Amino acid sequence: FERYVDYALDVPMYFVYRKKKYIDCTGMTFRDFMAGELPCIPGELPTLNDWENHLTTIFPEVRLKRYLEMRGADGGPWRRLCALPAFWVPVSGLKTPFRDGLLRHVAEDVLKLAKDGLERRGFKESGFLNEVAEVVKTGVTPAEKLLELYHGKWEQSVDPVFEELLY
């Protein structure tokens, strides 16, 4: 954790929030803030809330929160941002022929490796794979389910997708 904290202390800040206003701190570090050396608010020291706000503005591949946030697929340059969905949406999905079987069989093998690895860790994390396991088991992707709803029950309206995908 120490290396992560050192990293976060030196990532340039965006802002400090005071009295319902955002104060521009572009280019200054949280380490400077801890020393009371921010020119925008001289002598002021950070609060725990300032630290929490700062941590939400750094974007490593894995971000430490109360859990590990895997961020590899939610940001980056356009070419990478679009690459992952393109990888997961071939025309025939898991039904794509691959060697002597289907891509789905490769997914089954990879899922088993992931599940076994998580179980070996002993933290009861394998349940996080349930959604992926359902896709691999049925061979129907979330996109295919949405398309079925779009062409059926939703009568070609995209409006219901917002409610369908709420957290």
3-state secondary structure of 96: coil
Burial 111-149 (b: 16+ CB within 10 A, else e): beebbeebeeeeeeebeeeeeebebbeeeebeeeebeee
How high is the mean pLDDT in each 10-residue block of the chain (167 residues)? Answer: 92 96 95 96 96 91 76 70 65 84 93 96 94 92 89 94 83
What's residue 144's pLDDT?
87
What's residue 84's pLDDT?
64
What's residue 120's pLDDT?
97
What's residue 92's pLDDT?
78
Domain ranges of the chain: 2-57, 90-164
What's residue 165's pLDDT?
83
What's residue 66's pLDDT?
75
What's residue 94's pLDDT?
84
Strand ranges in the chain using DSSP code E only, listed in sequence order: 15-18, 21-24, 62-64, 68-70, 97-98, 101-102
